[in-house]
Amino acid sequence: MIDINFRITNPYYDIWQSLWAISGVLTKNLGWEVQISAGPVLLSFEFSWKTRQDHAGIYFEIGFLSYELSASIYDSRHWDYENNKWIEYDKEEYTITRED
C-alpha cells in the first residue's frame, strides 16, 4: 500500500458538499469515480494505491481554496484476510425475496 497525503484546512469552516460526481464500471470487478466537492480545504494533495484489501485501487485528490477534485479506479470486491484471497459470493446471497 502507498498512501501520500498533505492537507491544510480552514478550522472555521466545517461544511462539505458534493458539487458534481460521475461513476461507472470498467469490468466485472473494476469501477471508477470522479467527484468535485467544496469544503474546508485550503490546499490538499492525496495519492493512494491499495492492494489486497476491500475496494483496493488507485485514488487521487487535489484541492485548492475550498474546491477538491478526486478520482479513483477501484476493485468492487472484498478481501478475505483469513484466506488471503478475494471473497467469492453466490448469486443467492444477493437475491432478495419478498414475503407477502
Domain ranges for the chain, please list them.
2-82
Residue 92: strand, helix, or coil: helix
Q: What is the pLDDT of residue 93?
A: 56
Q: What is the Cα–Cα distance from 33 to 26, expressed in whole angstroms?
A: 11
pLDDT 10s digits, 40-58:
999 999 999 988 888 889 9
pTM of the entire structure?
0.74
Which phi and psi (to 5°) does residue 84 adopt? 55, 50
pLDDT 10s digits, 4-46:
999 999 988 888 899 999 999 998 888 999 999 999 999 999 9
Q: What is the pLDDT of residue 85?
A: 83
Which one, of 43, 48, 41, lies nearest residue 17 by Cα?
41
